[in-house]
Amino acid sequence: MSGAAVLLQPLSLPESPASPDGVAAVESSPSVPCIFCEECYVLAEQSQLLKHMIIEHKLVIADVKLVADFKRYILYWKKRFAEQPVTDFCSVIRTNSKAPLEEQDNYFLLCDVLPEDRLLREQLQQKRLREILEQQQRERYDTSFHSMCMFCDQEFTGNRSVLLNHMAREHAFNIGLPDNIVNCYEFLAVLQEKLDNLQCLYCEKVFRDKNTLKDHMRKKQHRRINAKNKEYDRFYIINYLEFGKSWEEVQSEDDRELLDNLEEDWSDWEEHPVCAVCLFCEQQADTTEKLHLHMQKSHGFDFLKIKSELGLNFYQQVKLVNFIRREIHQCRCYSCQEKFQSKGGLISHMQETKHITFLPARSTWDQPQYYFPTYENDTLLCTLSDSEDLIPEDQSEDVPVVSEDISSLKALKQSSILNQLLCEEIGIPQVTKGLQHVQKHPSVNRAKQLIA
């Protein structure tokens, strides 16, 4: 049986050298080698390397933009391809199949349908996420920040938020909340370099002098950054949390009202129908009771029973729902991990095999990444709640409770459960961003208290 069929041991990233001439020696190089030959390209020329492997070696890497660490990914497969034939890992695609044999070509597709490849991508993503969260946490509490305003040359020291808030309030230049940004020094340097080159940050046109540029940005209201410029993606924490989500969404979510209006007015609250969507099909229901009944009768999935048997608290329910949503969206059975071409084929498989009722191990879905909703408008999350009788007496003291009468926003932040999460190396300061929409429903009091 080939190594591609069964993974008996967890994958290991190419970090420790086997010898000075091994993978680690290549890893320390600023260039990225070809998987098959000695050809090397600098990391910035990633597309040239991919082109080389397609033309010279007939290798196609699927969804390469979703690989968190391209260099480590290439080094890993270079080592594996040296150990086993490429056909053990790749699907073979034959072109010109009706042409004479000498005119046919075989291309090799490396993608996450292969469990080893998918696991590698997930490990690289988790490693990158940990590194970015650690960096962002250091920047949040860094008091040695020193920089000058790009528009008025005023000098700022202390914390990065002082400068960012100044540019937003005094110059209407808003790149997002400080807690949404990572590698702030580098971000500001990129923006400053564009201004030094007399380039508008929004339309990116170049002007003849500084005064003309200033007038243009002021009159055209171009004191903002270009949402379509992917160069800025690496500076927004949300791009490391979940693939495919644009930082532009973060920029448009201006939460600065929380700084000016600390007291919320709920006097105009109006109750609206739930209208939640089934986890497995497009069926909608205006009450949670109807939705649970539909999932039980139509799909054999009893959410309330699972909640009771596993003793799930509110946060675990959120993670389970988001996990199932993501697996169904990716047309992958969460029980056997088989992938399908369509959602209909997946659901038919899960119902016929009864895999729909077999959840994977808790460690698979009880992960911090599933605090973030798969669908931003998932109303089902708003209906989740704790059941007091499900909490064992010996665990009741571990449930965080934040009183509602805290008037100081600073005190609320200091007492937040997020600080505990960060201390336990689950560092996700943006957890509440993923749950922020939940606060709009009165049945989820705790989520509202965690908004910071």
pLDDT of residue 14: 44
Q: What angle do CA 399, 401, 403 make, to 5 degrees?
A: 175
Q: How far is CA 239 from CA 132, 157, 430, in A?
A: 10, 28, 12
CB 23 within 8 A of CB 17: yes
The residue behind tokens 């109006």 is: 270
CA torsion through residues 398, 382, 175, 369, sign:
positive
Q: Is 332 helix (H, G, I), strand (E, B) or coil?
A: strand
pLDDT along the chain (452 residues), means of 10: 39 40 52 92 90 93 88 94 93 82 86 92 89 90 91 90 90 86 92 93 92 88 86 84 54 50 53 74 85 90 90 90 92 92 90 89 89 82 67 44 48 54 45 42 43 38
DSSP state of 224: S
pLDDT of residue 411: 58
Q: What is the pTM of this model?
A: 0.45
CB 114 within 8 A of CB 66: no
DSSP state of 438: G
CB 384 within 8 A of CB 324: no
Give which of 318, 328, 421 is closest to 370, Cα–Cα: 318
